[in-house]
């Protein structure tokens, strides 16, 4: 119902999710290009990429462990573009800045993520 929708839109969590989505960027990589950095979340929008011996296609996500501080604990994020590739990315620093900014209105957010 519309009243439920209005409540959700005014919740602090909704505001955090909106800010996270607005912080995401779209990057394009040419065929045969290597890409991928640690502490970055990747969402493959279009194209084909190779990563860890597997073909990645539209809709696949990697780097979900981007919030971890220790690089030794991270899964590899390096990928190879088999075709033109478009990815949506979110960097850890940007995400953590949003967590810090929303911590007062979303109590416990920082503790759940760190």
Q: Report the pLDDT value the prediction gives residue 4, as an integer from 0 to 100.
A: 56
pLDDT digits (tens, 9 = 90+) for 52-94: 999 999 999 999 999 999 999 999 999 999 999 999 999 999 9
* pLDDT for 40 beyond 60: yes
Q: What does each C-alpha distance from 79 to 28, 37, 85 come to in angstroms?
A: 13, 9, 10
The predicted model scores a pTM of: 0.86
As given in the structure block, the two tokens for residue 61 are 């996500």
- Distance (Å, rounded) from C-alpha 42 to C-alpha 61? 6
Q: Report the pLDDT value the prediction gives residue 103, as an integer from 0 to 100.
A: 86
* pLDDT for 97 beyond 60: yes
pLDDT digits (tens, 9 = 90+) for 3-34: 555 555 667 788 899 999 999 999 999 999 99
* pLDDT for 107 beyond 70: yes
């Amino acid at each position: 119902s519309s009243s439920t929708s209005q409540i959700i839109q005014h919740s602090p969590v909704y505001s955090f999710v909106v800010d996270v989505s607005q912080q995401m960027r779209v990057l394009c990589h040419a065929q045969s290009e290597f890409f991928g950095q640690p502490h970055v979340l990747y969402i493959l929008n279009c194209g084909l990429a190779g990563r860890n011996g597997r073909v990645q296609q539209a809709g696949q996500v990697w780097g979900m462990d981007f919030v971890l501080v220790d690089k030794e604990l991270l899964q590899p994020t390096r990928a190879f573009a088999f075709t033109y590739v478009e990815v949506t990315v979110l960097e850890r620093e940007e995400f953590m800045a949003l967590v810090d900014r929303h911590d007062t209105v979303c109590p416990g957010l920082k503790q759940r993520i760190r």
